[in-house]
Amino acid sequence: MFSKSEYERRLKGFQAILAQQEIEGALLVQRADTLYFTGTAQNLHLYIPRTGKPLLLVYRNMERVLAESPWEAFPLTGMSKLPELIMEHGHPLPKVMGLEYDVLPVANYLRYEKLFSQTKLMDISYPLRLFRAVKSAEEIARLEENGRVYAQLLEYASTVLRPGMTEIELEGLLEAKARTLGHETMLRTRAFGFEFHFGGVVAGPQGAISGYFDGPVTGLGASYAHPLGPSHSPIQAGDMVMMDLVIAQEGYQADATRMLVIGEPSQKMAEAYQLSCEIQERARLALIPGRKTGDVYAELVDWVERETPYAGNFMGYGQNRVRFIGHGVGLELDELPTISKGAQEILAPGMTIAVEPKFIFPGEGAVGVEDTLVIEGEKGARFLTHAPKSILRV
């Protein structure tokens, strides 16, 4: 858990945004958001007024909320009680109230619309996500812990990987091991329909199978019903094995990728992997405060097109190319900012971003590196995940 001053910092920062946007209060219900402000992941409605203390209205479980959160909390017996509870605690009914339009289901929204019939509702999700993108030293330290787990898992992977093992089997062993190292199994994503679990351990040609997943490497998946990530296909000697994993502790998630191979990589794959590492280093140096993320993306893609022989394979090929190189990561796997085509976000110290330049070769597979970095100063971003960058030969 974090210090009370950390939660106070978060509250004040968000209240400044409410003031700026002339919103009198925000009603938050999504778990990552409420956890961020309250320090508890129990079921509650969180009303954050423009000034004063946050109002925690708890469905379940009050006992845990009181043990975990630095704030006072009150029971909520039904949604219809929300307006009167807000007033009872000294707040006027807001003229304008912010909601999380990007995640809130329509059914819930329509109920709020009726309950707060005199209130103008508006979307607070983008400024809230942008605010959460900048992490404190305490949050960054937690992300860095996950980097240590990843490094241990990479070492472990090299001891269990053997030909004939399926992708899904290898990922299962890695996850079981990760749990003994502190990883907490459940992950959080934000975008509607974004389903993901632990990682993309994909090998050989499966690395180049395209799909709906909004990333460079989709994988075949366990079945047509879950068509991404590891599959029941066996790993062969010579396959490039991508170990893309998300490690979580206390809700904070870091994302990293390294490559393994049984035997030796082909010259082409080894070369493309080296290029990934070079692009990542160029990205690291370019990720400095004040720069626009879309500009960093364009600059890196330009370099790939000018200087490498595999521009047509960078982040996918043909129709299936994705137009980003990095994504924010923290309490959710798809946080702001993204280092993507046309993105307008301005980099700021404390933003944490997974940078994952990858090359995909149809019929052959995928190679690439990924690390979670934090934006710091003029000298470039700093790695939060650390593991040897050479291809691990087994």
For a second copy, which residue of 224, 306, 363, 379 counts as binding (CB under 8 A)? Answer: 224
Does 6 interact with a second copy (rule: CB under 8 A)?
no
Give me the DSSP letters along 289-354: TT-BHHHHHHHHHHHHHHH-TTGGGBTS-GGG--SEEEEE-SSSSSEEEEEETT--PBP-TTBEEE
Query: Does residue 251 come out as left (phi exceeding 0), alpha (psi in the -120 to 50 range) or beta?
Result: left
| CA dihedral sign of residues 225, 355, 253, 50 | negative
Instruction: Scan for tokens 């087994």, then name that residue.
Output: 394
Span interacting with a second copy, options 224-232, 276-284, 297-305, 372-380, rule CB under 8 A: 224-232
**In the set 23, 24, 28, 31, which binds a second copy (CB under 8 A)?**
31
The residue from 10, 55, 94, 125 that contacts a second copy (CB under 8 A) is 125
Among 27, 35, 86, 354, binds a second copy (CB under 8 A): 35
Which residues within the stretch 167-206 sit at the binding site for a second copy (CB under 8 A)?
Answer: 168-169, 171-173, 175-180, 182, 184-186, 188, 192-193, 195-198
The answer to whether residues 93 and 118 touch, using CB atoms and an 8 Å cutoff, is yes
Q: Does 249 bind a second copy (CB under 8 A)?
A: yes
Which segment (14-22, 96-104, 273-281, 374-382) binds a second copy by CB under 8 A? 96-104
Amino acid found at 258? R
Work out whether 39 is an interface residue with a second copy (CB under 8 A).
Answer: yes
Q: Does 12 bind a second copy (CB under 8 A)?
A: no
Residue 108 in contact with a second copy, rule: CB under 8 A: yes
4, 12, 114, 226: residue in contact with a second copy (rule CB under 8 A): 226
Residue 252 in contact with residue 331, Cβ under 8 Å?
yes
Q: Residue 180 or 390: which CB sits closer to a second copy?
A: 180
Q: Is 152 in the site for a second copy (CB under 8 A)?
A: no
- Residue 383 exposed, middle or buried by CB count within 10 Å (0-12, 13-18, 19+): middle
- The residues in 291-320 that bind a second copy, with binding defined as CB under 8 A, are 320
CB 97 within 8 A of CB 26: yes
d(CA 246, CA 31): 19
Site size toward a second copy, by CB under 8 A: 73
